[in-house]
Structure 1
Amino acid sequence: MTVGSGSSGAVVANRLSEDPSVSVLVVEAGESGEWSLPITIPMFHWNLYKSKYDWKFHTVPQKHACKGMRDQKSYWPRGRALGGSSCMNGMVYVRGSRHDYDDWAANGCEGWSYKDVLPYFIKSENIQIPDIKDSDYHGTDGPLYVSPGNASLLADLYGDAMQELGYKVVDSNGEDMIGYLSISGLEGNVFMKTKKNSSYDYPDTQLHIATVCGTKDDIDPAITRVNLKSEVLLIAWVFITESIA
């Protein structure tokens, strides 16, 4: 059983369910959100903030940051639906700076350098952008369909202006991130199952999904119990995993 279906939990559940001898149960708080317009339409994702699909987290008061915020607390939106926070990130696909991964490795996180993680990025990706399809930094056989998205005309104007100033237009998930970035997008969040927008399509016979919308029903107080043959994996984001554990 995996607790959490976010960007990490969904991937783990998918990989486990590839084994025909394994049956996987994914438990997720909130609703599926499959028919929610703010989830399925990237530019509407702002409407998810402080909605029923958001955990509505706030940090504790900060001493040296958030000075322009009430009580110096920062609002941290986090997805409460199948797909976790991938439901509310506008379907943007950004791997992050290679230097961050190298810093992790330099500080003791063995196996997490950019060189170490790049093969997994490539393996998971099915790039749909013709200009970079043959790049050594992208894959074409993975379950994550990555497209160029639909940028406004302003994006091209900004790109032209940056090139006039001497900057390169670079791949946001390529060799480096120095220059004008053209952002890539996912075709659907990590838990959508429609054929057109699916990023992960699970073997239905081996993967089961349970959404939990509450803790107790006074009218029907029945409790569902699950007997496990194997392990429970807590993959519910750093704060929620810690509170469950």
Structure 2
Amino acid sequence: MSTSPQEDELAGTEQPFVSHLIELRDRLIRAVIAIALCFGVLCIYPGPAGLYDMLAAPLVAHLPPGSTLIATNVISPFLVPLKITLMAGFLLALPVVLYQIWAFVAPGLYTHEKRLVLPLVVSSTLLFIVGVAFCYFFVFGQVFKFIQSFAPKSITAAPDIEAYLSFVLSMFIAFGAAFEVPVVVVVLARMGLVSVEKLREFRGYFIVLAFIIAAVITPPDIVSQLALAIPMCLLYEAGIWAAGIFVRYSKAPEDEETPAA
């Protein structure tokens, strides 16, 4: 009885359940160690206070002269910078964390599946970081400038540091997730849930959807809404282009042989 090439690919890779648990434990420990090391380095330089000053810089630059952020909770000046340092440490260690995840999952994947998963993991990470950077370096400045331009002169702006952290995190997540549009498009096309042709036909609906999403999750100013909606539309086009490549590049062997048969 002959064995298919797909079965041969994974021959000998089976492991007992306990071995999987031990490997998972070891890789989790390595990921935690990487995060702890990055956190420790950031605590030394630039330090939690320095990181918070960097995060608050876009807002402070648009506050009236003499205005600063305030802390309404007694331990907020200690906890908030520490939270930011921990999140920065996680982002810094993200390549190591993703590698541990990939190394744990890869032995159970076929070759054509590895062709799809690894590029998607790398691209989704890079796109998320690009989305966060775009939000920090461009969107924040425009949003805070717009808000302060409408503030009455009788009001002295003094935002709370915990409220600011919450706002920043929600915006980072929103823009980071929005920049994952190409990855979602590629996955939908590769799983066969929708064809590339259907994605092209849906283009007009997606543009409307992008502006609706931007209006819901961003502050009520036209600059931040356009800053989110326009990149989403452009990334959707990039996703359609990438889907056509990935669908061909990550085909299973039996899918490639079917047309010839």
Place the TM-score, normalised by the shorter chain, in its bin.
Answer: under 0.3
Q: Which has more helix, going by share of residues? A: 2
Larger Rg: 2
Q: Which has more strand, going by share of residues? A: 1
Q: TM-score, length-normalised on structure 1?
A: 0.20
Q: TM-score, length-normalised on structure 2?
A: 0.19
